[in-house]
Structure 1
């Protein structure tokens, strides 16, 4: 494979796996990257598998209902996604055995191999349906599946990407994911990490080189929040201004004491959180009791610029802990593309690199105070600088970086 040219690689289809699904509740880096690759070559985006237990528990949910025949009978497992171009396909894997409850050992390994073989066969069928045998396999942070490749599943290149510190995530993921990720890096031809800290830690844990491959933004989409007069979303029409906004998963990463403090300090302002609510169990604060805190629910990535365009200031109030210190947040470049002022906690080396384009405050009181100061000090030239910073961090640029890293790897 070392003499396989870059031009030949660029002609191959990319099979991408991740921990998200193409029609999930919030945008993901893997899905954004897949859409960008698909502008120039075939991409098969493999949905995060449902286990038998998932199917039973979630059988009434729209996402499962839409995939029911594929999951149960193997029908229409590979579907084209013409709304995103002629080269992008979604693949529904067959139902997997629920094995994560097992301890590490021979039984888990045996059943994981069975799952991996089942998944790889479905991928191979999808490739054959499109007339391909050779391909690039890109595992974008899903070490629970195909961290090691079954016999007969032989891509021309195996790429592994880490996008979060799995060793600090919830026990379900880290139980097997922590050691499987290291194994994936050791087996992959090229390994990537989205933050500087991840790059360093995974290189040390695996004994292999891990390249820095940061997140980006769909600048073409999000710049509309800066350049165009977008319609006011219905949920915002009756809200007092200014509006302080957040977009993304409302989850364990957020410092809810800061959210509460903002609402209480500025009762005349509106605070709007756009995204799926997954905060239960991560805070004792009754968020619904805060009268100026509003939730819109999850929105498709294509809808987000409309909200950003009508927010007056954006916040990224992540906790500063082991979970967040290795995060390069996907949303930071989306925020900056809107030109709006941003206040964030200094949770990682990567977020700190965006200073002075964003305001960084580590203490609750200083964070809250910074909101008023940034609103008062916002100027057109500052907005332009933020916009320009986002323009330098696009998925198109990351795809170019990817091929540069591939070329370096296979030219050795």
Structure 2
């Protein structure tokens, strides 16, 4: 473990994000043995104007005006910072030299706020942990006072996305190259990191688990009128990550099966033909505390992932959540999914999905102890193990230097 350090964490996700966050989980785990400052995203001009009524924007504005404190204590060793600055919205600047000039200005504004907060907290020789933020954090290793080591953490291939493509690819590569080490949550992303920094490692992934109740929870009200078998998916329904056409194909091919989709939809899903199919049921967003109630009722869990530059190297966090309940899982075969190969049905194309769902439904109740094996495999993916792997690599690297 990394112990007795002062750690500054800068990333894309604020502490008050509504969805699960690797960065938050890692911050909490690191704070068990270290003093941690978690930096929320500073407001940028466009967000301040366009999302002025958003609750998170309102909170940042209150801090900017001095109406609320910029530092919040989460526990005795973890603090969050709302930087009292506004960054320029520069992503559409087409010229690299001009973008870099303006980005340095943004980084200086952010660094000023972080240095001020770190001084108030008594930070010395901090370790800088950057979560996938190759824009706002690009110059921070040089601009933050006394930084003693930088870890760049990559969990998504963001540079494959239109918003990040113009400047992201060159900046991420340069940031990885100058970092002390690169940590990734999949073998695919670690291999990508090693192209620019030989000290790039797959540290695995943690997952938050609730408890499996002694008796099955009550059937959620909106599942009661849906006939079995229930083939379910829990999570955001985003067309860049999920294959809408694949879901449609297997729903049409299996009209006697009910396909239950739990989560918010993007525009593509909202406008899709799936809403016209009688055996497809959109149940909308649910509180995180209720998701286990739905998973526990599914006969088969799905991860119909789209295969593209963004998803091919992603660690499928929801698979652990499914396996924790001992459920049979049918998922798209990707490099990151192959570590689950002994516990899930991996598929390539609609036909193999149909066969795998039938096979999963054909499992006997005990399935030779598979439900318990699935649960134990999921439970091996803890944030403690993930941070221990991070610490092992970082400590070994420091000894070499």
User: Could you tell me which of 191, 196, 219 is aligned with 1:200?
Assistant: 191
* Alignment CA distance shift 1:167-1:131 (3 Å): closer
1:157 and 2:152 are equivalent in the alignment: no
Q: How many positions carry a matched residue from both structures?
A: 395
* Alignment CA distance shift 1:44-1:151 (3 Å): closer
* Whole-Å separation in 1 of the counterparts to 2:219 and 2:113: 44
1:261 and 2:253 are equivalent in the alignment: no
User: Could you tell me which of 22, 28, 41 is aligned with 2:21?
Assistant: 28
Segment drifting more, 183-192 vs 288-297: 288-297
* Whole-Å separation in 2 of the counterparts to 1:302 and 1:40: 28
Q: Secondary structure at the match of 1:131?
A: coil
What are the residue-to-residue correspondences of 1:10-25 with 2, within 5 Å? 10-25=3-18
* Whole-Å separation in 1 of the counterparts to 2:295 and 2:244: 21
Counterpart of 1:3 in structure 2 is: none
1:398 and 2:386 are equivalent in the alignment: yes
Counterpart of 2:317 in structure 1 is: 330
Segment drifting more, 12-21 vs 395-404: 12-21
* Alignment CA distance shift 1:269-1:71 (3 Å): farther
* Contact in 2 for aligned 1:226/1:337 (Cα 8 Å): no
* Alignment CA distance shift 1:245-1:129 (3 Å): farther
* Contact in 1 for aligned 2:115/2:144 (Cα 8 Å): no
* Alignment CA distance shift 1:109-1:89 (3 Å): same
* Whole-Å separation in 2 of the counterparts to 1:146 and 1:12: 20
1:317 and 2:310 are equivalent in the alignment: no
Counterpart of 1:65 in structure 2 is: 58
Counterpart of 1:370 in structure 2 is: 356
Shift of 1:392: 1.7
Shift of 1:226: 6.8
* Whole-Å separation in 1 of the counterparts to 2:118 and 2:79: 10
1:296-354 alpha-carbon deviations (Å, 9 max, x no partner): 444454443333222222111112233322122222222211211100010x2120121
1:211 and 2:201 are equivalent in the alignment: yes
1:185 and 2:176 are equivalent in the alignment: yes
* Alignment CA distance shift 1:60-1:235 (3 Å): farther
User: Could you tell me which of 79, 97, 108 is aligned with 2:99?
Assistant: 108
Segment drifting more, 51-60 vs 18-27: 18-27
* Whole-Å separation in 2 of the counterparts to 1:316 and 1:240: 21
Q: Is there any run of 5+ residues in structure 1 with no aligned partner, and where? A: 1-5
TM-score of the superposed pair, with normalisation by structure 2: 0.89
Q: Is there any run of 5+ residues in structure 2 with no aligned partner, and where? A: none
1:359 and 2:350 are equivalent in the alignment: no
Q: Secondary structure at the match of 1:90?
A: strand
1:164-199 alpha-carbon deviations (Å, 9 max, x no partner): 22332x211122221111111111111112222222
* Alignment CA distance shift 1:235-1:134 (3 Å): farther
1:375-403 alpha-carbon deviations (Å, 9 max, x no partner): 22153211111111112221111111111
* Contact in 1 for aligned 2:232/2:260 (Cα 8 Å): yes
* Greater relative contact order (CA < 8 Å, ≥ 6 in sequence): 1
Q: Secondary structure at the match of 2:296?
A: helix
Aligned-residue CA RMSD in angstroms? 2.5
* Alignment CA distance shift 1:78-1:48 (3 Å): same
Segment drifting more, 253-262 vs 280-289: 280-289
* Contact in 1 for aligned 2:332/2:347 (Cα 8 Å): yes
* Alignment CA distance shift 1:17-1:152 (3 Å): closer
Segment drifting more, 281-290 vs 171-180: 281-290
* Whole-Å separation in 2 of the counterparts to 1:87 and 1:158: 20
Segment drifting more, 209-218 vs 110-119: 209-218
Shift of 1:360: 0.6
Counterpart of 1:78 in structure 2 is: 71
1:118 and 2:109 are equivalent in the alignment: yes
* Whole-Å separation in 1 of the counterparts to 2:119 and 2:289: 32
* Alignment CA distance shift 1:95-1:126 (3 Å): same
* Contact in 2 for aligned 1:139/1:161 (Cα 8 Å): yes
Shift of 1:228: 5.8
Q: Secondary structure at the match of 1:215?
A: coil
Counterpart of 1:132 in structure 2 is: 123
* Whole-Å separation in 1 of the counterparts to 2:287 and 2:8: 23
